[in-house]
Structure 1
Amino acid sequence: MKATIWHNPKCGTSRKTLAILENLSRVELTVIEYLKHPPTKAKLAQLYADAGITPAQGLRLRGTDAQERGLPEASDDAVLEAMVAEPILIERPLVETEKGARLCRPQDEVLALL
């Protein structure tokens, strides 16, 4: 099975999710450090749609100015534009497999994709 994780190595939950994926021999893993290589607006929209959440639900609030900027109440388009411009606004980790996509908080959420 192929899996892609949009990963931030400074995030404990992201590291734990990555460890789960790395310890499964049946997973062919692609790791994307999204702060260095952010997803496109279209890719983010697709990931959130596949995960069954809105872009605002995928917005990182802690440690960002998202709340002050009114992003939790903004349109999907505005949230996605902000995330592409400033990838730190993307909550992590996002994982995608052939079974769909998920925001893996807590890290055990990744098991539903395997």
Structure 2
Amino acid sequence: MADITIFHNPACGTSRNTLGLIRNSGAEPRVVEYLKTPPSRDELSALIADAGLTVRDALRRKGTPYDELGLDDPKWTDGQLLDFMLAHPILINRPFVRTPLGVRLCRPSSEAVLDILPDPQKGEFRKEDGELVVDAAGRRVKPAG
């Protein structure tokens, strides 16, 4: 069984869809509800770097204290931004997924997880909104347009 970890927020539709795609590959990931159990500073820093992102790329604005804390100010260093994320885990964008094939921030699209899953999809998968992502043969469906 592949070693897969998802940093999950069960209140987030994108996070739930990503978890569903992982499970549709036959894997049962380690689910870390990061709002209850935030990653360590080293783990968060590694997730961001391994995903090829900057710390600013990993900050979530919507529904967070981002604006009230003035985090768009360029004066904040990466270290200070990490401190804010650890003090307010809701600032950590989600979901981050780590597999043996890499790390992705699966936002804005949960389908980003498909690029790093070791095993193929086992059948059809639809997002919560009904959008078909994987067909009955386990093949990724490209969005229309």
> TM-score scaled by structure 1?
0.93
Q: Unmatched 5+ residue regions in structure 1? A: none
CA radius of gyration, larger in: 2
Flag as ranges the 4+ runs of structure 1 deviating above 4 A: none
Cα root mean square deviation, aligned: 1.1
Q: In the alignment, what sits opposite 2:64?
A: 64
Could you list the runs of 5+ residues in structure 2 that have no partner in the other structure?
A: 118-145
CA distance in 1, matches of 2:96, 2:13: 14
Give the whole-Å Cα distance in 1 for the aligned partners of 2:65 and 2:32.
24
Q: Superposed, which structure 2 residues align to 1:1-114 within 5 Å? A: 1-25=2-26, 27-72=27-72, 73=74, 74-105=76-107, 106-114=109-117
Shift of 1:2: 1.5
Structure whose residues are more often helix by fraction: 1
- Paired-residue identity, %: 49
Q: CA deviation at 1:55?
A: 1.2
Q: Is the 8 A contact 1:71 1:78 kept in 2?
A: no
Letter in 2 for 1:58: A
TM-score normalised over the length of structure 2:
0.74
In the alignment of these two chains, the number of paired residues is 113
Higher relative contact order (CA 8 A, sep 6+): 1
